[in-house]
Amino acid sequence: MKLLKAIIFSIARAIVFIGIPLGVITLINSNYPGLLDERYLHALKLAMYLGVPIVAFYFLADSFEGIVSMIGELIALTLVLAYTLLLLGMGIAHISYENVKITLIYPTLLAIVVIGVIIRFPTPILKYLAWREENGETFYKE
């Protein structure tokens, strides 16, 4: 049952982290060639490469319990952080279409989204502590 749940979550995460961004980028590039500049496309490619280990580490976290689950989720969250920074172009995006060059600068928005990811970091730790508590182990030795 736990494995089945992990597989379903992995498929959902693969769609979110790899499928949707890849689909959108492919669609934009085929309909509007040259809209996204090379640097941004390169960063997106890197983000896609990060998508696979993110799904893998989340799968690990979902499949196991205890310390393995915590470490797996923490690594996955770190990768999600890097993925977010790359996908959002480190707070700046350049778009060029026909004669118009567009620059979007959004460090504040990036910071809010990054905070949204960072806020998740205590979750696996707290989950691990709850697991320890549930299994009769305490964090401090008596």
Partner 1 sequence: MDMEWKKISRIYRDFALLVHLGIFTMVFLAILPVAIKGTAVENVGDTKWYFDGDNVIMDVPVTIKNGGVYDINNINVKFIVSNNSAIFVNSSQNLGDIKSRSVRTVHVKIPVNLNHIYNLEYPQFYHFFNYDTFHLNFTLDLDYLMNSVHFNSAYNGDVRWEPIVKEFTLEHPSMIAEENHTIRLRIPYIINTASYLKGNARFDGKVQGEFGTGNFSTEFALGHKYEGTLNLIFNATHAETLLTHTQMLHLNGNITIGGFSVPLKKDYLWGAPLNNLRVEVLSNGTLHYYFENDADFDLDLVITKDYYRNGTLILHQEEQMYVRKGDVVDTYEGIGVNEEVDRVVITIRDENSGFIYKKVVDI
Give min distance, CB of 121 to partner 1, in A: 9
Give min distance, CB of 142 to partner 1, in A: 8
Binding to partner 1, residues 112-131 (CB under 8 A)? 112-113, 115-116, 119-120, 122-123, 126-127, 129-130
> Does position 137 bind partner 1 by CB under 8 A?
no
Binding track, positions 91-110, relative to partner 1; x by CB under 8 A: --------xxxxxxxx-xx-
> Does position 30 bind partner 1 by CB under 8 A?
no
Running DSSP on this structure, what letter comes out for residue 33? T
> Do 131 and 66 touch, CB atoms closer than 8 A?
yes
> Does position 42 bind partner 1 by CB under 8 A?
no
> Do 41 and 33 touch, CB atoms closer than 8 A?
no
Of 61, 85, 62, 86, residue with least CA distance to 75: 61
> Does position 15 bind partner 1 by CB under 8 A?
no
Distance CA 64, CA 57 (A): 11
Give the DSSP H or E segment for 102.
strand 100-105
Strands (E), 11-97: 92-97
Sorted by sequence, the CB contacts under 8 Å of residue 2 that are 6+ apart come out as 62, 63
- By CB under 8 A, how many residues form the interface with partner 1? 28
> Does position 67 bind partner 1 by CB under 8 A?
no
List interacting residues with partner 1 (CB under 8 A): 99-106, 108-109, 112-113, 115-116, 119-120, 122-123, 126-127, 129-130, 132-134, 138-140
